[in-house]
Amino acid sequence: MDKCPVCNSPLNPQDESCAACGYRLQDTTEEFKVVSLEPDTTDVPSTTTTTPTLTVLYGKQEGLVYQLTGDRASIGRSPKCEVFLNDMTVSREHALLERVGDGWSIRDTESFNGVWVNNTNVDHVMLSDRDIIQIGCFVLRYAE
């Protein structure tokens, strides 16, 4: 691999992670492209949401909407996860969503490919309305 699959920065064969974006390179399972964060200009009808949601924007389950109820929700390839993302680029127990006050946080649970929020690799972060989350080859949008 001569370029980082996330940010296209040049890589050396001995690199374990990308110096530019931090993407972990060892034992990667699949390359994936970064999704543009430019606003979507298509006309989308406004929906009033009382329950926070995760909408799959890209991936095998595109269009699927997960409602975040309760105080926590696991994300992963395991069918036991509340947010089940069935692809080998997703760890069995990839991330954990937790209610914090009126909002939600996401925590990487030592996944293989990491958790990306708005194109930044994160370990733990509070989510904001319309944040873009990338987990493996899936892209999700968080909505409050």
22: containing domain: 1-31
pLDDT greater at residue 20 or residue 54: 54
Nearest-CA neighbor of 107 among 130, 80, 133? Answer: 133
Q: Is residue 5 part of a domain?
A: yes
Q: What is the pTM of this model?
A: 0.66
* Residue 116 amino acid letter: W
- Do 75 and 110 share a structural domain? yes
How many whole angstroms separate alpha carbon 85 and alpha carbon 56? Answer: 9
Q: What percentage of the chain has pLDDT greater than the value 70?
A: 83
pLDDT-derived band at 143, boundaries 50, 70, 90: very high
Q: Is residue 37 part of a domain?
A: no
